[in-house]
Amino acid sequence: MAKNKIHEVVKYPDPVLAKPGAPVTVFDAKLKTLVDEMFESMYAAQGIGLAAPQISISQRLTVIDCSFKKNPEEKIVLINPEIIDREGKQVEEEGCLSLPDIREKVQRAAWVKVKAQNVDGEWFEVEGEELLARAMQHEIDHLDGILFIDRLSRLKRDLVLRKIKKMQKNGEW
């Protein structure tokens, strides 16, 4: 079996990250390969979630594994996902593979129900709370062209953007 390609994760301010992804309409072997490559790329980057726009593919597709390889049943593929219900709130620190070394507290719903398609194009619903709920909301935001820093107060966001500019100037970004 051929080794899957590891995709490079694009960094902010790459324009693909600010653009809503197009719906996935073709459910074929190429899509299944892409999903496998996304899991591999996510693990290689030490993440628990990866959205297609983060690897320069502007499509509504994301993979999540909150167990980070420990539990295969926890691997989730969400294609054309939408949040259909949410409850409660949680405020926890978040990071993002497209914003390395940036971590900030973000308010999210504590529980969400998501409707999405699987790799065969079949619709299903999945519920998540705490970390999984946060991961699903974070990744679906990516598909809408929203980064977690867009959810911060203006003051916090300005501080983060200044930090990024400084890192860019020093060649660390």
Torsion of CA 40, 43, 47, 53, to 10 degrees: -20
Q: Is 2 contained in some domain?
A: no
Query: Is the pLDDT higher at 94 or at 2?
Result: 94
pTM: 0.96
Number of domains in the chain: 1
State how far the Cα of 88 lies from the Cα of 11, in Å rounded to an integer: 31
Alpha carbon distances (Å) from 103 to 7, 143, 149, 152, 157: 23, 20, 9, 11, 11
* pLDDT tens string 87-138: 999 999 999 999 999 999 999 999 999 999 999 999 999 999 999 999 999 9
User: Is 142 marked as binding a ligand?
Assistant: yes
Active-site position among 82, 104, 139, 172: 139
Query: What are the DSSP calls for 71-111, one per residue?
Result: -GGGEEEEEEEEEEEEES-EEEEEEETTEEEEEEEEEE-SE
Q: Is 9 contained in some domain?
A: no
CATH of the domain at 76: 3.90.45.10
Q: Is 7 contained in some domain?
A: no
Q: Is 69 contained in some domain?
A: yes
Q: Is 4 contained in some domain?
A: no
Q: To which residue do tokens 């977690």 refer?
A: 148
* pLDDT tens string 74-83: 999 999 999 9
Q: Is 162 contained in some domain?
A: yes
List, in sequence order, the alpha helices (H) in the chain: 29-44, 130-143, 154-169
Residue 122 is among the residues annotated as catalytic for this protein: no
Give, rounded to a whole angstrom, the gap between the first and last alpha carbons of the chain: 35
**In the beta sheet, which residues pair with residue 75?**
65
State how far the Cα of 90 lies from the Cα of 102, in Å rounded to an integer: 19
pLDDT at 168 over 70: yes
Query: What domain range includes position 83?
Result: 15-169
Q: Is 123 contained in some domain?
A: yes
The mean per-residue pLDDT over the stretch 51-61 comes to 98
Q: Is 3 contained in some domain?
A: no
User: Is 7 marked as binding a ligand?
Assistant: no
Q: To which residue do tokens 């790459």 refer?
A: 14
pLDDT at 2 over 70: no
